[in-house]
Structure 1
């Protein structure tokens, strides 16, 4: 694989992969919060309709949905999707359905007393969500959102099947042109790993920031050994207090 192949194929493919990941993730977050919030509604019809969306997109394949948007929609509705937009839409709607369950579970885990306090203060439903429930539920959403984001990144490889020139599509072109499979696909694996690692570190920072806003930030710079030391010291202090109380 020559340097020209990398700059002419891989670099544009990397940029396309970044765009698909970002736009799909933004759409997925919007869908997740809307559907997840609606699934906590007191109205059964709202829960029923949002539940249908969740079950529909959780139970369908992103790849088949892309094919349907690109090949079936023009025949059925006489309207053609741009392949990249079809890929973003399919990934965003699918992973948004997965994320809605994360949002619903995190909101349900907020203590009922917090909601009752908002009602007592005269907050509307939207105000309770914005000021009380979501700030407390957000730190619990970040770790599963991190997993979904990594899965979404890897899922962007599916857009190569609808002729979107992402990294996977570019790798196939370079493999055909250079007749070198091992270095090309090894480089592709490394690129996906690097992107996933960067996203994970960014989500860790976001999680720490979210927890710090509600007073739950873990100590910075402390690993497993420091946490074990803190627990050991806390246990020794408790034992000393107990012993002192017994001796008295």
Structure 2
């Protein structure tokens, strides 16, 4: 047989099995996570005082579709506790060819003063690709600031109140009558003047070696010299 050949599609029916059409190829890429996701980066000293904590979500994705994916837009969500995640769009600059993989880094940032256990999720389109837990420490610098504020402000208010009371209280008559002492204008000039030295006093001659000084014995105030007590005559003063 030398006739022309022709090709035609015919449905192949298997008895007892349902038949469905093949999915259409839309020519779009399909991303999938190929490695474990992780959070990189650390917090600085400002985070200890309430600055927003930030990290980088690092993951490796591959294109399982038949078309390249150019500048894909991901959605990064952060959830605290049992609350639903809050999604934010993050665009990655680059092209992933079919059958290729790429390393993607996306920034993740929380609100100021955030602390506790958080869950970071990554979504592309309508599919969640990865989830990563994140434990954020408490900003103890903020707590220390409020403690110092509670101590300093009452002390400052007390000092200001005492100064106001000292200004407005009435003065006593004795304090009002006492004149204020004015500073001496010539005190500095007097201190700079040269000091005069006193001449030494003339030295007295030495006392004569052979001279004997007269010694007097002080009598008791209630005795006279002739009535002073002795060994042979005891005193009778004071007896009636």
TM-score, length-scaled by structure 1? 0.19
Larger RCO: Structure 1 or Structure 2 (Cα < 8 Å, ≥ 6 residues apart)? 1
TM-score, length-scaled by structure 2? 0.19
Task: Identify, as 1 or 2, the structure richer in helix.
Answer: 1
Task: Identify, as 1 or 2, the structure richer in strand.
Answer: 2
Kindly name which structure, 1 or 2, has the bigger radius of gyration based on alpha carbons: 2
